Amino acid sequence: MPKRNSADNPPDSPRSLRRSNDSVGVDQMPQISPYLELVNQILADVASSYDADISTLFRVSNDRTRLYLEAIYDSKGVVEIEGTQPYKLEWPDPQADQRQHHGVTCWVAEHGEALFVPSLNDLRKHVAYSGTGAWDTKLFEEPEGVDDPQLGFGCFYAVPLRTGEGLPKDKVIGVFKIERRRHKPIFDADERKAFDLAATSISRTLQMYLSTATSLRRVLSEAAHILRGRLADSNSVIEMCLQLLGQGDSEIVYAYARDHLPRAESLLRTGCRRIERVLEAYRVEQFPADFNLEDIVAAALEAGFTDQNRCQTFWEIPRDITLRLTSIQRYDLETVLLNLLRNADQHSKTDEPVQLHIRASESPPIVEFEIIDHGEGVPKEVVERAQAAALSGTEEEALLVVRGGGTGLRRVYRFAEQYKWDVVHDWPQNGGTTFIVKVPNEEESRS
Amino acid sequence: MTARILVADDSINWSKPFCDFLNQRGYHATSVAKGNELFTSVLNAPHDYDILIMDNSMPEADGEQEIPYCGVRILGMLVAHFRDHTVPPALLDRVIVRSIYSKQDINSLRNEADDLTELGCSQVALWFDRSIPLDELMRAVNSLCTPPLRRE
C-alpha cells in the first residue's frame, strides 16, 4: 500500500486540515457494534496508508465533503445500521426495456459498478438523473442547491458494496459514497484507489454482519420452539407432583417423584444450558474466537444422549485443542453433532454404543468428527431427502411444522452448506452408518 | 364410572407423567406417541376410550409427504371413517387439542377444528399453549366427563 510522505502535504493544506478535524470525531463516534467498529478501523487504516480523506465517515454534516454508507440491503429488505442512511432500493424489473433511475446511488447499486462524476454538468447529463421527479429539481435550486457557485456540487464518487461476484441484485448490499463541494480538492487516483479498497473491506464486514443477524434470528426462533416444550413439560411434572402431594399419600407421591422428577430436572437443566448458549450467541463478541473443542463435544453429548454411556468417545488429538468459530458457528456445530449423535443412537442396536472419533489433520488444517453406528443405519432416502431439502432451502418450514422425518439431518446439511463444512456419509458393508463432519481450522478461515 | 382417557403426544416427557398422574387421580389413561398409533388405536378399539387429549404436532409421515398439523387431520380422518357408524366412538365427541404453534398456525388449526365440529365432534377444546395450568386442564377433563359418561 503506498504511504505518502507527509512533506507532500504542507500543514495548512486542505488535506491536513481535514485530517486534523477527523481525529476528533473518531473518539466521539458511538460504539454501535463490533462490525461498525471494524468498519471504522478499516477506514482509519486505509486513510492512514493512502493519506486519503476517508475517515470522515458519518461525521461531517454541514460541509458537503462527506462519506457515508447510503444503502444497506439484504434479500428481505433494508437492514438498519445506526449511523448509516438506509433506504430501500426498488430493484428494476429485468424484463423492462426502460428504467427510471432515482439518483446516482440507486444507479450504482443497480449496476454494481463504481461511478465517478467529475462535475455538475456530468451529473446533469447522467442517465441516473433522467426522468427523476420534483425532489431532484430542488437539488439544483439556489442558494443551497448543487448549483451554488462556491458550495455547490464539485465531484462525486460512489462504490458499490459487494458481497461477491454475480448479479447486483444478489450481491450488492449497499453503496459507499463521497461527495465534495466545489471548493474541495478533486479526488486523485490514490484516493479513489483507497475508497475502492475500503469499500471491499467494508463489504466483507457487512456480509458478516448480515450473516450473523440472520443466524441470530434463526437461533432465537429455534430456541424458543424447543424451550417452550421443555420448560412447559418440566413445569407440568412439578405441578403434578405438587397436586399429588396435596392428596397426602406419601407413598404415591414418592413413587411419582422418583419416576418423573429426574427427567424434569434434566429437561430444566438442558433448557437452562440452551438459554445460556443463546445468550452467549447474542453477546457482542460476534467475531471468531477460539472455542475449546472438549466443551463443544461435551455439550453435544449432554444434549444428544439421556444416557451418555450410549456413546464411546475416542480422542485422537489433545482435548485442549481449540476451534476458531463465531459463537453462532459454535452453537450450530453443537447442533450438527448432537443431531448426528441422536440419529446414530436412534438407528443403533441397544447393546452397541455409538462411536464418536475426534481427530485433526494439519494439511489442510481440519478438525474431523466421525460418528459411527452399527445398527440398521440411517436410510439412504432420508439422507438424500435431507440433502436436497437443505440445498433447496425448504427445511425451515419443515422445522417449524413437524418434527421427525429427518429434520435434524436437514439442519446438519444446511449448516454445512452455510459454513462450508464438509459432511461425508457412508454405509459400511458391516452395517450401520458413518458420518464425518470436517470443520476447517486454518488461519484463512479464522479471518 | 372411570373415564378412559387416550393421551396422544409425541413428548413422552409430558405424556408419561401425565398418564401416571391421571391414573393416580382415578382415571384410566393410556398414551400413544405418534399420529399413526392414534389412528390405529381408535380404529382397532373404537369404544375403549371416552376422552382424547392430543398434541396437534405429532410426528407422522405419509410416504414422502410429511403431514403438517397431523393431529387434527388424523382426527378428521377418524371422524370421516366413523361417520356412517351407528355408534361412533365416544372419544371423537370429547377432544382436547393442545398446540404450541404461532398465530398463523392457530388460525389454520381453528378452521380445521371448525370443520371437525361440523362433521360431528361436538366438543373440541383447543388450547394454544403447551403450558396449560394443570388445574385448567383437569377442569376441562372433568367438564368432558359431565354429564356422566355412558357406554354402549
pLDDT tens per residue, range A320-329: 888 988 878 8
pLDDT band at residue B129, thresholds of 50, 70 and 90?
low
For residue A264, the chain B residues in CB contact (below 8 A) are: 13, 17
What's the mean pLDDT when you consider all of chain A? 71
User: Testing the interface with A: which of B66, B100, B104, B128 to mutate, by most A Cβ within 10 A?
Assistant: B66
Question: ipTM, 2 decimals?
Answer: 0.82
Judged against a pLDDT cut of 90, whether residue A316 lies above it is answered with yes
Tens of pLDDT, residue by residue over A116-164, are 888 888 888 887 776 555 455 666 666 667 777 777 788 888 888 777 7
Judged against a pLDDT cut of 70, whether residue A442 lies above it is answered with no
pTM: 0.59
**B131·A236 Cβ contact <8 A:** yes
**A239·B133 Cβ contact <8 A:** yes
* Max CA separation in chain B (angstroms): 43
The residue among B80 and A336 whose pLDDT is bigger is: A336
**Residue ranges of chain A that CATH labels 3.30.565.10:** 288-447
pLDDT at A16: 28
Percentage, residues of chain B above pLDDT 70:
73
**A402·B60 Cβ contact <8 A:** yes
CB pairs under 8 A between A and B: 79
Indicate the DSSP class of residue B145.
T
Nearest of A325, A356, A365 to residue A435 by alpha carbon: A356
User: Testing the interface with A: which of B7, B9, B16, B20 to mutate, by most A Cβ within 10 A?
Assistant: B20
CATH code for residues A6-210: 3.30.450.40
Give CA–CA dist B63/A368, Å, rounded: 34
The residue among A285 and A10 whose pLDDT is bigger is: A285
List the beta bridge partners of residue B53: B7, B96
Tens of pLDDT, residue by residue over A357-409, are 999 988 888 999 999 988 777 777 778 877 777 776 554 443 333 334 567 78
The residue among B40 and A68 whose pLDDT is bigger is: B40
Picking from A229, A240, A385, the nearest residue to B11 by CB comes out as A229
**B14·A237 Cβ contact <8 A:** yes
Judged against a pLDDT cut of 60, whether residue B65 lies above it is answered with no
**B134·A239 Cβ contact <8 A:** yes
Give CA–CA dist B80/A66, Å, rounded: 70
Picking from B13, B100, B102, the nearest residue to A267 by CB comes out as B13
The residue among B131 and A419 whose pLDDT is bigger is: A419
Q: Domains (ranges, CATH) in chain B?
A: 4-66+90-144 (3.40.50.2300)
pLDDT band at residue A72, thresholds of 50, 70 and 90?
very low
Give CA–CA dist B84/B43, Å, rounded: 14
pLDDT band at residue B62, thresholds of 50, 70 and 90?
very low
pLDDT at A40: 63
- Among chain B residues, CA nearest to A241: B21
- DSSP string over B30-79: EEE-SHHHHHHHHHH-TTS-SEEEEES----EETTEE-TTHHHHHHHHHH
**A232·B10 Cβ contact <8 A:** no
CATH code for residues A288-447: 3.30.565.10
For residue B64, the chain A residues in CB contact (below 8 A) are: 385
**SS3 of A423, please?**
strand
The residue count of chain B comes to 152
**Residue ranges of chain A that CATH labels 3.30.450.40:** 6-210
Q: A203 vs chain B: nearest CA distance in angstroms?
A: 36
Tens of pLDDT, residue by residue over A11-31, are 333 332 223 333 333 333 333
Average pLDDT value for residue range A283-298:
78
**A256·B17 Cβ contact <8 A:** yes
